[in-house]
């Protein structure tokens, strides 16, 4: 859905659901997911429908993901960092996260 105009920042290596994803410093987690072509970041607790980032400004909460073990973080507000482990969220929240 999106391509990078220019590779301005240094490369940052993340994993998303265990798979390596190459991001750029200055990316938020949500931007990195979009740039990597990951088409949804969670499924809803109510019907299991897939959701992707919608507003990218902290309003919609559709970009919730698990980051380094902490669940339901707003991917659009968290800058990427080297070695970060991102997991998409499926359905209802799991106990302990």
Contacts to other proteins by CB under 8 A: 1-6, 8-9, 24, 26-28, 31, 34-35, 39-40, 44, 46-47, 49-62, 64, 70, 72, 76-77, 79
Question: Phi, psi at residue 15, to the nearest 5°?
Answer: -120, 145
CB of 64 to other proteins, least distance (A): 7
Separation of alpha carbons 69 and 24, rounded Å = 22
For every residue of 52-66, DSSP letters joined together read --SSSSSSS-TTEEE
C-alpha–C-alpha distance, residues 5 and 92, integer Å: 36
Please count the other Cβ atoms lying within 10 Å of the Cβ belonging to residue 70: 10
Residue closer to other proteins by CB (options 19, 61) is 61
What's the closest the beta carbon of residue 8 comes to other proteins, in angstroms?
3
Residue (13 or 55) nearer to other proteins, CB:
55
The minimum distance between CB 16 and other proteins, in angstroms, equals 15
């Amino acid at each position: 859905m999106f391509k990078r105009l220019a590779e301005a920042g240094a490369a940052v290596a993340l994993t998303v659901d265990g798979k390596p994803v190459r991001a750029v410093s200055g990316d938020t987690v949500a931007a990195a997911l979009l740039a990597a072509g990951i088409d949804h970041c969670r499924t809803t607790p109510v019907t299991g429908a897939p959701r992707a980032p919608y507003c990218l400004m902290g309003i919609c909460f559709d970009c919730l993901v698990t980051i380094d073990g902490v669940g339901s973080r707003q991917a659009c507000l968290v800058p990427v960092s080297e070695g970060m482990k991102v997991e998409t969220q499926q359905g209802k929240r799991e106990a302990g996260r």
